[in-house]
Amino acid sequence: MSRSGGGPQEIAVPISLFGSLRSELEKEVGMLPTVRALHHAGYHSGLDAAATVDQDAGGDSFGLSQGKFWARLSSYFSKRGWGSLQHRTAHAGVGILTSSDWAEATTDEIKADASCSFSAGFLSGLLSQLAGGPVAVLEVGCRTRGADSCEFAFGSETAIHDLYGRLLDGADIDSALEAL
């Protein structure tokens, strides 16, 4: 729902929302459907959030220099309590967004199958909308799985699919990126 003259309406909710949603959905439908549902919900929310990010950038987010764009995006998330994001180009076709304080990740209990599914979808929707075409996002590191930070790889659907395949085959992120 949009308000007149601005981006989508926003509300503040406790960070525990992510864990509660995941836990309750997993009880009802299982892990894989939960991951998919959270990712899809995040994607659609990210599509809507792009209007606010674009408005904050004066109406032309991708007209900004790379440094300014990533700083504005980090500011968008930080102001809303999501955490900070740092960008780096990991490969000609893949970027990495890293956060050591990402809100969806909880460190109360390390879980091998944990993920920031909503966030990955949100970032995909937001970046796709701003770019005017599909941008795939894959979480390649998660604090809830014991990593020091959450890391989201992003790029074309083909590049991210290839990266995911290499990770599934057992490659670490650096080797998988080098092999692309």
Beta strand extents in the chain (DSSP E only): 86-91, 94-99, 136-141, 150-155
CB burial readout 91-124, b (16+ within 10 A) else e: bebbbbbbbeebbbbbeeeeeeebbbbbbbbbbb
Domains of the chain, with CATH numbers?
16-179 (3.30.1380.20)
What is the pLDDT confidence band of residue 2, given thresholds at 50, 70 and 90?
A: very low
Out of 18-27, 53-62, 139-148, pick the least confident: 53-62
pTM score: 0.92
Per-residue model confidence (pLDDT) at position 1: 45
Q: What is the pLDDT of residues 101-152, one digit of tens each?
A: 999 998 777 787 778 999 999 999 999 999 999 999 999 999 989 899 999 9
Segment 164-173 mean pLDDT: 95
